[in-house]
Structure 1
C-alpha cells in the first residue's frame, strides 16, 4: 500500500523559528529527519506515525480545520526523543463525504497496524474514532477506551457526530470485546446510557479515577485504541468550549498518557476535540502537545516481554474454593505489573492485565469480577 496519496505532506520549514533551542534538539527536528527518510521509501524500523485529521464533522457537511497544524506547532517545539523513530505522514486529504474520510482513516490505520507502527492521530472531531475502530473490525479481542466527560451515544434519531459516534461503533461491532470510559462525570451520564454499550467494561468515573489514578493503568494496558476528548478537562485547564467546571487536571491527563504509551497492546492514540477558536487557544494547544509528548515518553519505556514467554515474570497460583482449579497471576518482576491467566474452552491460555486489587480479592477467596467477565467473554468468542 502506498500511503502518500492519502496525505498532504507537512511543511516543516514553517515550524523551525518557533523552537526555543536548536531545531535538531526538538521533536520537530527529529521527526523531520525521520520523515525525510520515509519519503525515500524506508519504512523499516518506524515505530510511531503521526496522522493529522483536519476535519470537524457536522450533520450535513464537514469543514477543514487548522487544528492538527496548530498542535504540531506546539508539539514540535518540545524537547526531542532521540532514541525513537517517529514520522509525520501529514494531514489526511479530504474525500467527498463523511464516509469517504472515515474509510480513508480506516485504511491508513489498518496498514500501519500490519506494519506494527503505532498511530498518533491529531484530530478534528471525535467521530473519526469510528473510522479508526473499523480498522479492528476483524479482531475479536479489540478493546476500546475513551477518556471523556460524556458517554457519546445517541439520545434519539441523530446523524453520526462527535457526540454519538459510539452508537455507530457498537452497531457495527456488536461483539466488541471491551469498552471502557475513563473520567466520565456522573451528572452528565444517566446510568441507563451504559446499557447502550457493548463488551466488557472497566469504567472509571472522574472521582474514582482521581482517588486512584493508577487504577486506569491496567485498563489502558488492555486497550488497543485510546480516544481522548479534550472536553474531559476542567475549564480552567483548557478553557474548553463546553465550560465544564469539573474535569481532569493537566498532570492527571499526562500521567494517563504515559500509561497509555507504555501499553504494549496500544496501537492507536487519537486526540480529538481541541478548540482552537477560544481566547486561550495557546493554553489548550500547549496542553494537547504535552499529552502527545507524554504518550511518546510512555512508549519509550515499553517492556515488550509478554507473560506467556515466562522470562522476567513470577507466577502465583491462588486457590479459591468455588473454582475447580487455581487462579494464576503473572507479575513482571521489573515493573510490578500484573496479569491474570484465562484458560479458554479451546485450551488456549490467554493473559489480561489486572490490578493489585484483583490479586488481593483472589487471595481473600473472592473471585475477581473482571476475571469472571474475561472468562465468559472469551468462551463466547471461542465456542
Structure 2
C-alpha cells in the first residue's frame, strides 16, 4: 500500500527549513518533498499530516487552508530529549467532493495505524474526526474518542455531516465501534440542555471548562483510555490566538491546552491526535506558534510513555478491594508509574460490549472516595455502557 493521496510539503517551507540551525526540529524530520518523494518510514513513530478540507464547516465561505506558517514555526522549535523519529508526510488536498477527502484520509490513517505510526493530523474542520474514526474499523472493535472542545458536536444525525455534528454519525452508523466518548472543556452555554441530557443518557463523559482548569490532572485517566484525541482550537480562549481564530473570551489558555496535549501523548493507547478548526491569516504567528507548541507537547508526552502491564506481573502492582453496599470494587496501583486503575467486571449473562474483565484508568482520589462509600462516576458509566 502506498500514500497516493499525499501532496508534498511546499517549496516555501523547504526553503525556510534550509536556513535553520542544525539542532532545529526541521532538520530532524523526514520530509515528503517534490524532489525526493515519500520518505522511508522505517523506525518512524510519529507522522504529521495536513488535511486541507473545510467544506463541511457550518461557516464555510470558500476559505482555503494553508499550513505553511504552522510548519515554519514548528520546524524552528528545538526537540526535547526525544527517542522517537518524526516525519512530515505533507498534505491531503481537497478532493472533488468531501467524501473523496474522507476516503483519502481514512485510507492514509489506516496505513499508518497498521505500521504502528501515530498520525498528528492538522485540519481543517473537525468533522475530519469521523473518517479517522472509520480508519479503525479493521484495527479495533472498540474505540474511545476524546474531544477537547467547548461543544459536544452531537448535532442531528439525520442531517448531512458537519463540523458541529460528526459525533451523531459516529454513534449511529455501522459498524458500531464506539465504546466511550468524552468531552473535555465544554461550556454549558454553547450546548443545549437536550444535548447535555443525551450525553448523560448515553453514559458519555463530559468535563466542564472550569472543572478542568481547576484540576488539570483529571484529564490524565481520560486520556489514558483514549484511542483518538480530537482538539478543536475553538476550545482556546480568544486572548491566546490571532484575530481570525478568536471564538470565545472563555476557554483554555496556552499552558492548559499544552498540558492536555502532553497527557494525550503520555497515554499508551492514544494512536492518533488531531488539531482542527485552524484559520490561517496574514497576522497568524500567534495561533501557528500555539499549534506548533501543542504538537511539541504531544510528542514530548509520547517520549515519556511508560510501558507497563499492570496485571502481567504481580510484582508490578498492588491490588485493593473496596466493598460498597453490594458492589466490590477492585483497584490496582502500578508500582512502576504510581497510576491507578479500577476493574470493570465481565458480565456473562448480558449482551455486554466487553468480552472479558478490563481495567479502567482512574485516580487515587477515586480510590479514597470509594473508601468513603462513593462509587466513582467513571466506573459507574463504564459499567452501565457495558450492560445496555
Asked if these proteins are the same fold (TM beyond 0.5), I'd say yes
Match in the other structure for 1:181: 183
1:167 matched to 2:168? The reply is: yes
Comparing 259-268 with 130-139, greater Cα deviation is found at: 130-139
Measured after TM superposition, the shift of residue 189 of structure 1 is: 1.2
Q: Select between 286-295 and 110-119 the one with higher mean Cα deviation.
A: 110-119
Q: 2:294 aligns with which of 280, 286, 291?
A: 291
Q: Does 1:92 align with 2:92?
A: yes
Paired residues of 1:177 and 1:199 also in contact (CA < 8 A): no
Matched, 1:217 2:225: no
Taking a change above 3 Å as real, the CA distance of residues 360 and 76 of structure 1, as seen in their structure-2 partners, is same
Q: CA 1:58–1:328 in 2, change beyond 3 Å: closer, same or farther?
A: closer
Alpha-carbon offset, residue 267 of structure 1: 0.7
Q: Count how many residue pairs are aligned between Structure 1 and Structure 2.
A: 375
Partner of 2:102: 102
Q: Which residue of 2 aligns with 1:208?
A: 211
1:337 shift after superposition: 1.4
Is this contact kept in 2: 1:34–1:86, CA < 8 A?
A: no
Cα deviation for residue 175 of structure 1 reads 5.9
Which of residues 347, 362, 366 in structure 2 aligns to 1:358?
A: 366
Q: For structure 1, which segment, 192-201 or 54-63, has the greater mean C-alpha deviation from structure 2 after superposition?
A: 54-63
Higher helix proportion? 1
Give the match for residue 263 of structure 2.
259
Quickly say closer, same or farther: Cα 1:268–1:146, change in 2 above 3 A.
same
The Cα of 1:310 is off from its aligned counterpart by 2.9
Alignment partner, residue 147 of structure 1: 148
Q: Which deviates more from structure 2 when the two are superposed, residues 108-117 or residues 208-217?
A: 108-117
Residue 253 of structure 1: CA displacement?
0.5
The structural deviation recorded for 1:321 is 4.4
- The alpha-carbon distance between structure 1 residues 316 and 116, as it changes in their structure 2 partners (threshold 3 A), is same
Distance 1:34 1:356 in 2: 44
Query: For the aligned residues, what is the CA RMSD?
Result: 2.9
Q: State the secondary structure of the residue aligned to 2:28.
A: helix
Using a 3 Å threshold, how does the CA distance of structure 1 residues 90 and 63 change in structure 2: closer, same or farther? farther
Aligned to 2:304: 301
More moved, 44-53 vs 234-243: 234-243
TM-score, structure 1 length as denominator? 0.88
Between 69-78 and 369-378, the greater mean CA deviation after superposition: 369-378
- Counterpart-to-counterpart distance in 2, 1:92 and 1:312: 47
- Distance in 2, matches of 1:119 and 1:160, equals 23
Contact 2:20 2:27 in 1 (8 A): no
Instruction: Tell me, in whole angstroms, the C-alpha distance in 1 between the residues paired with 2:253 and 2:33.
Output: 33
Secondary structure in structure 2 of the residue aligned to 1:43: coil
How many Å apart are 1:19 and its aligned residue? 8.2
CA contact (8 A) 2:324 2:373 kept: yes
2:375 pairs with 1:367? yes
TM-score, normalised by the number of residues in structure 2: 0.87
- Distance (whole Å) between structure 2 residues aligned to residue 151 and residue 41 of structure 1: 37
Mapped to 2, the partners of 1:105 and 1:98 lie a distance apart of: 11
Deviation of 1:348 after TM superposition, in Å, equals 2.4
* Contact kept? 1:149, 1:188, Cα under 8 Å: yes
Could you tell me whether the CA contact under 8 Å between 1:8 and 1:92 is conserved in 2? Answer: yes
Which position in structure 1 is the counterpart of 2:252?
Answer: 248
Question: Equivalent residue for 2:339?
Answer: 337
1:268 maps to 272
Task: Report what 2:193 is aligned to.
Answer: 191
**How many Å apart are 1:311 and its aligned residue?**
6.5
Q: Deviations over 1:294-333 (max 9, x none)?
A: 0000000001212132366322222314346x42222222
Find 2:318's aligned residue among 309, 315, 319.
Answer: 315
CA distance in 2, matches of 1:288, 1:15: 19
The alpha carbon displacement at 1:137 in A equals 3.5
Q: Which runs of 5+ in 1 are unaligned?
A: none
